[in-house]
Amino acid sequence: MTAAYLATGDRFGRLDDLRADETPAWALEGSGAQCLAVDPGDAKTVFVGCRGGGLMRTRDGGESWDRLELPESDVFSVAVSAADGAVYAGTEPSRLFRSRDGGASFQELTALQGIPSRPRWSFPPRPWTSHVRWIAPDPHEPRRVLVGVELGGLMLTDDDGESFTDHRPGAQPDVHALAWHPTVSGRAYEAGGGGAAWSRDGGLNWQPADAGRDLNYVWGLAVDPRDPDRWFVSAAPSAGRAHGGEHAEAGLYRWQGDGPWRRITRQPLRALPYALSASARGELVAGLGDGRILVSSDAGDSWHEAPARAGRILALAATACA
């Protein structure tokens, strides 16, 4: 059985069984929920970043909540390290925070502000600012973290945040999603506004992965936990089509081995799959901008639509249940 947590832009939801005809258990109504992260050591502990509502934490799967103290109220990314349990939060304007005590207190990693490209970071819809769109702590090396700024680049620290490199060679500068492989050290993956890329050397160098994909505005990203050479992305023809409503003409793609990409949705999708997630069992789940949830148990060769609808899904984490 596969369960899921959802963020829809205005609330948080929990689905206990994606195959069951159930209504999500909703919480955080009107919060601006944008992103979420599940504690790898406790599937009932979830951190939710909210636009305008700061950072929230539940330790019981969404029944009760704590508001965590951050100096910024617009939280666009959150992550929990599988290596050491550290909690990371990224905000607009682009600032990065870390907690070593489960969210009780946070410290800013100020070295991110010293990157040479920092004055040029700019998010096109709000060109006066930018935000940390994605944080990916390396599950094998606790001192190493990837940080994606929209729009600014893909940054790397391998010294526990004491310093950060500037945008990594070969990576997409318009970062939308990042991931590490959970069992193979050094493998990292990116989805960006101009395509996709991956790294085999711990995020130092990146190679474009675009062959075979006819849509280049890439957004969602998931990695097969059993195969480091198999990963998945969602894409649309352009930013305008991706975010413009129910005419996205989007698609889902699978990369295997050295590629190329293969489209794994037969017809264009009217709404962008903003969120992709793979459970520990390898079940692939896509959350769409029109509230639909698509599930595949065979790496995208076939799909079924979950009975539940959930508004505009911006973030999704699938968890395997007994």
Structural domains in the chain plus CATH codes: 2-320 (2.130.10.10)
b/e per residue, 140-163, with b = 16+ CB within 10 A? Answer: bbeebbbbbbbbbbbbbbbeebee
Q: Say yes or no to pLDDT of 322 above 60.
A: no
Q: Say yes or no to pLDDT of 321 above 70.
A: no
Q: Say yes or no to pLDDT of 229 above 70.
A: yes
Instruction: Classify 74 as helix, strand or coil.
Output: strand
Q: Say yes or no to pLDDT of 278 above 80.
A: yes
Q: Say yes or no to pLDDT of 30 above 90.
A: yes
Predicted structure pTM score: 0.96
Q: Say yes or no to pLDDT of 67 above 90.
A: yes
The pLDDT-based confidence of 170 (bands split at 50, 70, 90) is very high
- pLDDT at site 187: 98
Copy the structure tokens of residue 11: 């609330």
Find, among 191, 198, 205, the residue nearest to 228 by Cα: 198
Mean pLDDT over 205-214 rounds to 97
The pLDDT-based confidence of 58 (bands split at 50, 70, 90) is very high
Mean pLDDT over 49-76 rounds to 97
Q: Say yes or no to pLDDT of 217 above 60.
A: yes
Mean pLDDT over 225-242 rounds to 96
- pLDDT at site 257: 94
- pLDDT at site 195: 97
Residue 10 and residue 48 in contact, taking contact as beta carbons nearer than 8 Å: no
Find, among 220, 232, 223, 317, the residue nearest to 275 by Cα: 220
Using CA atoms, how far residue 235 sits from 24, 155, 165, 232, 241, in Å, is 26, 23, 28, 10, 10
Mean pLDDT over 205-223 rounds to 97
The pLDDT-based confidence of 26 (bands split at 50, 70, 90) is very high
Q: Say yes or no to pLDDT of 136 above 80.
A: yes
The amino acid that residue 41 corresponds to is: G
Q: Say yes or no to pLDDT of 163 above 60.
A: yes
The pLDDT-based confidence of 135 (bands split at 50, 70, 90) is very high
- pLDDT at site 19: 84
Task: Tell me 168's DSSP state.
Answer: P
- pLDDT at site 172: 96
Mean of all residue pLDDT scores within the chain? 95
Mean pLDDT over 124-143 rounds to 97
- pLDDT at site 214: 95
- Read off the pLDDT of residues 75-89 as tens digits, 9 standing for 90 and up: 999 999 999 999 999
- pLDDT at site 266: 87
